[in-house]
Amino acid sequence: MLSLPARYGRLGALITPVALIVFMIHFLSANFGSEDSLTGSGAIPEAELDAGTSPHEPPCPPPLPGIEDILVVVKTGITEAQEKVPVHLRTTLRCIPHRLIVSDYEEEIAGERTHDVLRRVDPELRETNKDFALYNRAQTHGGRSGLISQDMNKVANGATGMSGNPGWKLDKWKFLPMIHEAAEFRPNASWYVFLEADTYPIWRNLLAWLEPMDPEQALYLGNQMQIEGIIFAHGGSGFVLSQAAMRQLVDFHAPRQDEWDRFTEAQWAGDCVLGEVINKAGIPLTWSWPHVTTGSLWEADAFSHHYQRNVWCSPAVTFHHMNPTDIERMWEFDQEWFANQTHPHLLYSDVFRNLIRPSLNFHRDNWDNLADDKPSPGDHGISPPAIPASPSDCEEYCASLPNCMQYRVDDRGRCTTSKSPIRGVPKSGLRSGWLLDKVDAHVEELGYCDIPAWVMP
């Protein structure tokens, strides 16, 4: 599926048919990417700021085979780094030998130095373009004391993201400098893996995915997304560039920076800008959904079938919109799962059986399971419940529809359903329910996967 997150969703009218398939689903989950999901208040109590590496931590196990050849780049920003980066330094990044945290401000976060990649941007542009106001304030005041309350505003106030959010507006300028920073930081890595601070990487699946690929081939792997005519890899889902692709990209962009700065000024999404430079550099995107996705673990739809992809048997390589608690939880599971020698991969079916299914109940109040298929009167000749529907009307309706796995009733008594069981997220005023017998019967039918379904270039 060409999954479009909410911040791209409202551009639907501009999206050409190749992209149309399922992005509607994503319109409705009003979540935002890394730089855009900021905390409401700027100040974070000292006690919550945890050190990344404490002296009590056990030494790292021997490095995972292949991880030495990878540079992991995590993109963050001054308005979110303290909240979102330390958890990674304790978990996913702790034993990663080559890593780089890129930001809009150089500082120490839990013992790790961030790299200010915006120092690479043309100084005149930084002075004149208003997007850099936050950057310039942080520079002038030596960091967070330069931030103002608006910098922490996280309201989505436009069709194209959070145009009222200074950190978000600045974010698009980091993508191209980040590429150059990464190339200089470790020129000889086989693979460059780009993540955001709310992206969860499943390293063993990533390594198994890359293993058969040739880094001397120009490869760009990511979650396909489209804005206007441009197809690119979504930033928050995480994307990968091979050694050859990095060289080709750097050589292409370095002599044309002014031209692409002007292009960036006119765009609102930095991942789209980068994707267009990569396209123009002649590197094709390998459509890598569902290995890399826009959604969190709790939004994962293991039953879905889009783009002829067998999600059930696909390894999950990333989840997005993962908050620090989700990251801790997933890390614990990840460690346990792979400690078992019989588990070379973690498939969506494993995620469903082990993490999602055990968290489902018959129903849950103040909960949104993202069931949003509207009843259609002719559907299998079954009449939808009248509005307002009671939860039991809605449940009964779902029970009578073949393939309906879950339902949701909103605060106005509107009943919607879906064919996939999704755990979902808390949301007041909604009641969500799952038809667990149907879910379990379907899981049985889907069975166990003999071989993982990989997307290959």
Ligand X SMILES: *[C@@H]1O[C@H](CO)[C@@H](O)[C@H](O)[C@H]1NC(C)=O
Binding residues for ligand X (CB under 6 A): 69, 188, 340, 342
- Least distance to ligand X, CB of residue 20, Å: 39
Q: Is the peptide bond before 212 cis (omega within 30 degrees of 0)?
A: no
Looking at the Cβ atoms of 202 and 233, the one nearer to ligand X is 202
Q: What letter would DSSP give residue 240?
A: E
- Least distance to ligand X, CB of residue 342, Å: 5
Q: CA 81 to CA 114: how far, in whole Å?
A: 9
Q: What is the dihedral of CA 307, 162, 33, 131, to 10 degrees?
A: 120
Q: Is the peptide bond before 421 cis (omega within 30 degrees of 0)?
A: no
Q: CA 227 to CA 12: how far, in whole Å?
A: 9
- Determine how many CB atoms are found less than 10 A away from the CB of residue 300: 22
Looking at the Cβ atoms of 149 and 340, the one nearer to ligand X is 340
- Least distance to ligand X, CB of residue 188, Å: 4
Q: Is 424 helix (H, G, I), strand (E, B) or coil?
A: coil
Burial of 64 (0-12, 13-18, 19+ CB in 10 A): middle
Looking at the Cβ atoms of 69 and 261, the one nearer to ligand X is 69
- Least distance to ligand X, CB of residue 349, Å: 11
Q: CA 334 to CA 330: how far, in whole Å?
A: 6
189: β partners: none
Q: Please give the sequence-ordered ranges of beta strands (E in DSSP) within 15-90, or none if there are none.
A: 70-75
Looking at the Cβ atoms of 263 and 337, the one nearer to ligand X is 337
Least Cα distance to 202 among 303, 348, 340 occurs for 348
Looking at the Cβ atoms of 171 and 350, the one nearer to ligand X is 350
**HSE-CB of 100 using CA atoms within 13 angstroms:** 22
- Least distance to ligand X, CB of residue 192, Å: 13
- Determine how many CB atoms are found less than 10 A away from the CB of residue 243: 22
Least Cα distance to 86 among 58, 61, 60, 107 occurs for 107
The two tokens of residue 428 are: 């007041």
Residue 162 contacts residue 154 (beta carbons within 8 Å): yes
Task: Report, in this order, helix, strand and coil percent for the chain, each rounded to 5.
Answer: 40, 15, 45
- Least distance to ligand X, CB of residue 338, Å: 10
- Least distance to ligand X, CB of residue 196, Å: 26
For residue 350, which phi and psi values (nearest 5 degrees)?
A: -70, -40
Looking at the Cβ atoms of 69 and 107, the one nearer to ligand X is 69
- Determine how many CB atoms are found less than 10 A away from the CB of residue 371: 26
Looking at the Cβ atoms of 149 and 188, the one nearer to ligand X is 188
- Least distance to ligand X, CB of residue 262, Å: 35
Looking at the Cβ atoms of 86 and 452, the one nearer to ligand X is 452
- Least distance to ligand X, CB of residue 59, Å: 21
Looking at the Cβ atoms of 70 and 221, the one nearer to ligand X is 70
- Least distance to ligand X, CB of residue 46, Å: 38
For residue 54, which phi and psi values (nearest 5 degrees)?
A: -100, 155
Looking at the Cβ atoms of 122 and 184, the one nearer to ligand X is 184
How far CA 193 is from CA of 188, 216, 269, in Å, comes to 13, 15, 19
432: β partners: 364, 408
- Least distance to ligand X, CB of residue 335, Å: 12
- Least distance to ligand X, CB of residue 183, Å: 13
> What kind and span of H or E run contains 366?
strand 363-368
For residue 385, which phi and psi values (nearest 5 degrees)?
A: -65, 150
Looking at the Cβ atoms of 41 and 341, the one nearer to ligand X is 341
Looking at the Cβ atoms of 138 and 206, the one nearer to ligand X is 206
